Each structure stands twice: as C-alpha cells, then as structure tokens.
Amino acid sequence: MDLFEYQGKQFFASYDIPVSPGEAVSAVDDAVAAAERIGYPVVVKAQVQVGGRGKAGGIKLADDAASVREHATNILGMDIKGHTVEILWIERASDIAEEYYASFTLDRAAKKHLGMLSAQGGVEIEAVAETDPDAIAKIHVDPVDGLTPEACREWVLAANLNPDVTDGAVDILCKLYRAYTEGDADLVEINPLIVKPDGAVHALDAKVTLDANALFRHPDYEQYDATQVRDEREEAAHEKGLQYVGLDGSVGIIANGAGLAMSTVDVVSQVGGSPANFLDIGGGANADVMAGALEVINNDDKVRSIFINIFGGITRGEEVANGIVQALGRVDISSPIVIRLDGTNADEGRAILAEHASEKLLSEPTMLDAARRAVALAAEGA
Amino acid sequence: MAIFVDENTKVVYQGLTGSQGRFYGLRNRDYGTQVVAGTNPKKAGEDVDGIPIFATVGDAVEATGADVSCIFIPAPGVKAAVMEAAEGGVKMIVVITEGVPAQDEARFYNDLKRNFPDVQLLGPNCPGIISPGKCNIGITAGEIAMGGGPVGIVSRSGTLTYQALHELTQKGIGQTTCVGIGGDPVPGTTFIDCLERFEADPDTKAVMMIGEIGGSAEEEAAEFIKSSMTKPVAAYIAGVTAPPGKKMGHAGAIVSGGKGTAAAKMDALRDAGAQVGQNPTEAGELMADIVANL
C-alpha cells in the first residue's frame, strides 16, 4: 500500500520522527482555514503518488491567505503525470540549511535490509546513483540484529554529512528503522531529510509503502487501504477480493494463479492482441469467484472478448467446467468467451463445456490456440 | 535419485488439524508420502485419520523420526512455526502459507541461516516439492507429474509449476524432482540452491526453470548456469508485458525502477547458454528437443 505524503508524515510522527505541523484538506476554503491555524508562511503541497510534483507546479509557498487561496485553487484538480490532485497538504514552511536523503528497504538479493543515506538530497536518488554512486552510503542490516546505534553512527559518518548533525541524524535514522520494521513497511524514504538553521534534523517529505500482508498486526492500516488509488475496475475487483490489474486492451483475461495469469497476458500480446487486464482468481475456480471475475471484466467497456485460462490441479476439470457454466448462468456477458481448460481431468471438463458451446462460448485445447481465437474475436468485435 | 526429498522422507505437518492442512496432508499421504505426524499444542494425543498429533515439532521428531516439516499454519503464526520446526530438529521446512509479512520472512530466513545453517527452508508462499512416485509435500496435484526423470523442474510460480509438469508429462518426459520456490520477496530456497542439486544429481539430465518478473533471482541463476552447470537448461519467464510499478499477484512480481524486467532476465539466461521459450508450451518443446538429444 502506497501512502500519500500526509499519511506518511502521520506514520512517521507516530514513531517520533520530526515532521512539520500540517493538515490535509480537499477544498480551497479548508486550505485557507488550515493555513490560518498553522501560521504563515505555509507550503501548499499536491498529494499524488508520483514524483516530480514540484516541477509540475504542485508545490507552492504562501505568505498569506490570499496566496494560499490562489495556489490551492490552481493545484486542486491539477493533473500531474496522469494523477488528479484531490488532496492538499498544508504545512508550516521550514528554513532549510541542508538537504539529505535517507531510506530503508529490503535488498532481495542480499536478503537483508538496506539503508541508503546521502548528503545529496532533494533530487532523485536514481540520478545520484548514476552520476555519483559514491555519494550514497549503504548499510546492510541483519534483521536478527536490527540497527544498533553504533552501526548507525558509522553509517552516518560514512555518508559525510555535516559533522554537527551526526547525533541528530543517528537519532532520526534509528527511529526510521524502527518505523520500517515495526511498522511493517516495504519502503520508507525521506527526501529531503533536512537540517534546519538551528541544527535540527527533520523529515520534509515522506514516501512510505506498507506491506498489505501485515494488516493483521496493524488494524489501523485499513484507513490507508481506503485511500488507495485504483481505477473503477480495480476498485470493483478489490471489493470482490480478486487480484486485478487494469490494462488498456480489448481482451479480458481470467486465469487461476498469478504466474499463469501473467503468462496469459504475455501470450495474448505475443499473438498480436492487447490484454485488458491481469486477473488471478486463485487456486480453485468455483462458480462464485468465476461469476465475480466475469462481472468485473464485463463492466470494462473496452473488452471485446474474454479469455478464461484455467489449469486444473487439485481442482479437477469437471469442477472447473461446472463452475464456469454456473457463473455464465448468473452474469449476462456481452463479449464472446474462449476457454482453455487443461490439467487434471481436462477431457471431462471439456466435454461439459462442449455441451454448452455456442457462438459466445468456445473452447480451445491449448493456451496458444485459445489466445489466437480470443484475439481474433476481439478484432471482429472492435 | 531425487533432490531434497524421496521415498525415505518422513513429514510432520504443522497445521494438520486445520482444514487446509488436513486436506493436503491426507492427499500427500494418499500419494505415498510418509506422513508421520501432525502438531497442535491443544490436541496432542489425538489423531487425524490415524496420523498422530503432537504438541510440538520436537515431540513429533522424537517419536516418529520426521525429518521434514510442512507448514499450513495461517500467516500470523508462520514465524513462530518456522522457528519451532528448526528447534524441533527437522532438516527441511516447507512453508505453503501465503500472505506472510516480508519483515517476518526476512527475520526467520536470517535467524535460520545464523542459528540453524543446515536447515533448508522452502517458501513461504510456494506449492511445495514433489519427487514423482516417491514423495509429494504441499499442494501440487500428484496426477500431473510423472516419475523416472530425466528432467528437474524449479519454478517461482505455482500454476506455472503445474503447467511445466503437465507439458512434460504430456510429452512422456518424466521428472526427478519439481521444486516450487514461491514468489515471495525472501524465498528460503533459491533457483541456485536447486540448480546446484540438480547438477549434482546423476538421474537429472536437464533442468526446466520457470521464472517471473521482479527481483534479480533469475539473473543470479543465469550467472550460476554460466559458471557451474554442465546440464542443459530450458527456461521461461512470465510477465514480459507487465507494466512497471504494478504488482502482478505475487509480492515479488513487480518491475520497479526499470529493474527486474522479463526481457533482461531472458537475455541473461540466453547469454548463459539456456534455451528460453516465449511461453510455457514453447519451453516444454525446447525441453523435449533437449531430452531427445541427450
């Protein structure tokens, strides 16, 4: 789950990481009222989950109510790289002496946590990594040991920050590691991590991705789930508990298992089609789940044909076929469906599908044949 | 021969008294796996269809000589279950459970590595391991596998593992062992762990490898193939058309920052001398050619 900046800052604050006081608003009048409470100067910041907000004009400094009103009016509704701004974060402006970068994430190759720290903050860290890789100090943290203050201090010294802020940096980085591990984050990033003229170290931005698998430990994360950015199709699928990713094409895809669903998207593209989505219905393929999946795909206006790709393992072919037939009886499907059913008892399953075959319900024995058929049907329906 | 597990393997199921554990544990036994015990601290002394239940893995190991544990415990309990299994004395732990938090995985992976370096962890979020005709641990349908070799399979994705088994079985090509390593960010067993063992196993003559987008495990495997493998490898990578930044079901299946793309993985494998199919069927056909020329 990707958090907005304002949520990330609230998350940081709960681990005692210093952030600027501020308020999240979604209307111009509320922005002005928030600024009056916070005290000028304030920064009006667009809340979108994409980089480059500042360049796009989504971050503005305001000294009085009139300029807050002007900036809030301009930024609300603004499109930043395809993301519409619906929320503003109004925060007290900070005086900045220095800008650093800090983050923790999992290094999957090393199977340890990776901390990155750089004195070159405020710019994209990928750019720093490319032009001046030595400017990034890295530390691998074994999760069994955790980040000790001693190791953290060495890391800070290696990053060549202003020596006057070493203690402050160690303190905030230890807190950031705690937020990352105890908060079950996949990523915590502060860019920029600033030093104020008085030497205080402070998180001026917050990029946080939380692990949805850890919801059971953090029931309050439901609030973040509710604000996840999803298109209408993704929202509908999410409500049904389906693994769905929206794409732009015309061939709707349903498969059992993430790998097979990914593979199905690939094969449809390889034979010249364009997939409308990735949809994994999980191991079995019972009528309820199948009907839910078909409803989601059926509501996608761009879909011209549907490719159901099921590999029967423990769920036998005839069970899968019966599930599909039942689901079709419940949903009024507008596009033709091509089914590829394979695996355990595939013949029995195909026989059941054959009994219900029509212009709208076709069966093909292999993934490639089914993909070609679905793509041809999508072209006819275009 | 087979790798990791064979007809002598004795398995204890943590979570055998739950619905999933019971269903697959009994299926595994029907397949011929030596399912010797289950655990549940509240049901010690009871049995599941004749399989004795013990309070802990340690008790089960002592009484039955179990050497592998298979975990069907719900995600919140997996970290404790893995450590219990290691402390209990098994040599391999197979975690089928999906949805385990990444922080937990990183923690118990490193804990095992440090304190129980000889214990082989497989998963989490994996279909398990099958040495056809000998031992099936996990959720793979035994029907689609065929024993006798000469092909070993290692795969990051569940259904594509089945697809790979099926492609080979349909062509009359047997398998020595099929390992599903799972699609999570910190898999206990890697491609390289399996490739190393397949290379050393005299009955395995060729290896089929199924990868997917995200991470760098396939690139690392490619380096190993190049430097250390004499046996031929046929591979397939899922997710060629996956858009960057979107997770495709598996926690690990995401292209981020331009890294972990299918194209880069396929190039690395080709460069290492592996034959790479554009889809699972093509990979199966490539393997059939390899086997025909062995």
Nearest CA in chain B to A212: B101
DSSP letter at B243 equals: P
- Say if CB A184 and CB B101 are below 8 A apart: yes
Q: Cα–Cα distance between B70 and B28 in angstroms, integer? A: 11
Query: Do both B150 and B94 map to the same domain?
Result: no
Q: How far is CA A272 from the centre of its chain?
A: 28
Query: Do both B111 and B170 map to the same domain?
Result: no
**Domain encompassing residue B64:** 10-122
Q: Cα–Cα distance between B139 and B205 in angstroms, integer? A: 26
pLDDT at A320 over 90: no
* A53 or A140, greater pLDDT: A140
In a domain, B133, yes or no: no
pLDDT in tens, A268-294: 999 999 999 999 987 666 788 888 899
Which residues 19-78 on chain B approach chain A with CB closer than 8 angstroms? 27, 75-76
Q: Which residues of A touch B238 (CB under 8 A)?
A: 259, 262-263, 266
pLDDT for position A129: 86
Most confident of A31-45, A219-233, A312-326, B254-268: A31-45
* Euclidean distance between the first and the last CA atom of chain A, given in angstroms as a whole number: 35
- Say if CB B246 and CB B293 are below 8 A apart: no
pLDDT at A247 over 70: yes
Instruction: Give me the average pLDDT of each 10-residue run along chain B (294 residues).
Output: 95 96 96 98 97 98 98 97 98 96 98 98 96 96 92 93 92 97 94 98 97 92 97 95 75 68 94 95 95 94
Neighbours of A52 (CB within 10 A): 11
In a domain, B51, yes or no: yes
In a domain, B228, yes or no: yes
Residue given tokens 């695996």 in the structure block = A343
Nearest CA in chain B to A180: B103
Alpha helices (runs of H) in chain B, residue ranges in sequence order:
19-31, 57-64, 78-88, 102-115, 158-170, 191-200, 217-228, 262-271, 280-292
Across the interface, whether the CB atoms of B141 and A142 are under 8 A apart is answered: no
> What DSSP string runs through B118-129?
TPEEE-SS--EE
Q: Cα–Cα distance between B175 and B251 in angstroms, integer? A: 28
In a domain, B264, yes or no: yes
Sign of CA dihedral B63, B67, B73, B75: positive
Work out how many domains chain B is built from and give that number: 2
Query: Do both B147 and B30 map to the same domain?
Result: no
The CATH number that applies at residue B14 is 3.40.50.720
Query: If you average pLDDT over residues A96-116, what whole number do you get?
Result: 95
Query: Do both B98 and B211 map to the same domain?
Result: no
Query: Do both B232 and B203 map to the same domain?
Result: yes
In a domain, B255, yes or no: yes
pLDDT for position B100: 96
- Say if CB A183 and CB A11 are below 8 A apart: yes
pLDDT for position A285: 65
Which residue, among B97, B162, B255, would best test binding to A if mutated, counting the most A CBs under 10 Å from its CB? Answer: B162
Q: Tell me the pLDDT band of A228, cut-offs 50, 70 and 90.
A: confident
In a domain, B129, yes or no: no
* A319 or B196, greater pLDDT: B196
Residue given tokens 């930024």 in the structure block = A75
In a domain, B128, yes or no: no
Query: Do both B111 and B212 map to the same domain?
Result: no
Q: Tell me the pLDDT band of A90, cut-offs 50, 70 and 90.
A: very high
Interface predicted TM-score (ipTM): 0.92
Q: Tell me the pLDDT band of A6, cut-offs 50, 70 and 90.
A: very high
- Say if CB B208 and CB B153 are below 8 A apart: yes
The CATH number that applies at residue B205 is 3.40.50.261
Query: If you average pLDDT over residues A197-220, what whole number do you get?
Result: 95
pLDDT at A185 over 70: yes
Across the interface, whether the CB atoms of A278 and B249 are under 8 A apart is answered: yes
Query: If you average pLDDT over residues A162-190, what whole number do you get?
Result: 97
Q: Which residues of A touch B166 (CB under 8 A)?
A: 311, 342-343
Query: If you average pLDDT over residues A73-81, what whole number do you get?
Result: 95
Q: What is the mean pLDDT of chain A?
A: 93
Query: Do both B99 and B240 map to the same domain?
Result: no
In the beta sheet, which residues pair with residue A341?
A310
In a domain, B47, yes or no: yes
- Say if CB B155 and CB B178 are below 8 A apart: yes
Query: Do both B146 and B287 map to the same domain?
Result: yes
Query: Do both B281 and B226 map to the same domain?
Result: yes
Query: If you average pLDDT over residues A17-24, what whole number do you get?
Result: 96
Residue-range domains of chain A with CATH: 21-92 (3.30.1490.20), 98-222 (3.30.470.20), 232-381 (3.40.50.261)
Across the interface, whether the CB atoms of A111 and B109 are under 8 A apart is answered: yes
Query: Do both B18 and B72 map to the same domain?
Result: yes
Q: Which amino acid is at B60?
A: A
Which residue, among B22, B220, B241, B276, would best test binding to A if mutated, counting the most A CBs under 10 Å from its CB? Answer: B241
Does the reported pTM lie above 0.90? yes
Q: Cα–Cα distance between A272 and A264 in angstroms, integer? A: 13
Query: Do both B25 and B86 map to the same domain?
Result: yes
Structure tokens at A289: 């789940």
Query: Do both B90 and B212 map to the same domain?
Result: no
Closest Cβ–Cβ partner in A144, A184, A263 for B160: A263
Q: Which residues of A touch B249 (CB under 8 A)?
A: 243, 257-259, 261-262, 278, 280
Name A283's Cβ contacts closer than 8 Å, sequence gap at least 6. Answer: A256, A257, A313, A314, A315, B139, B158
A126: left (phi over 0), alpha (psi -120 to 50) or beta: alpha
The SS3 of residue B157 is coil
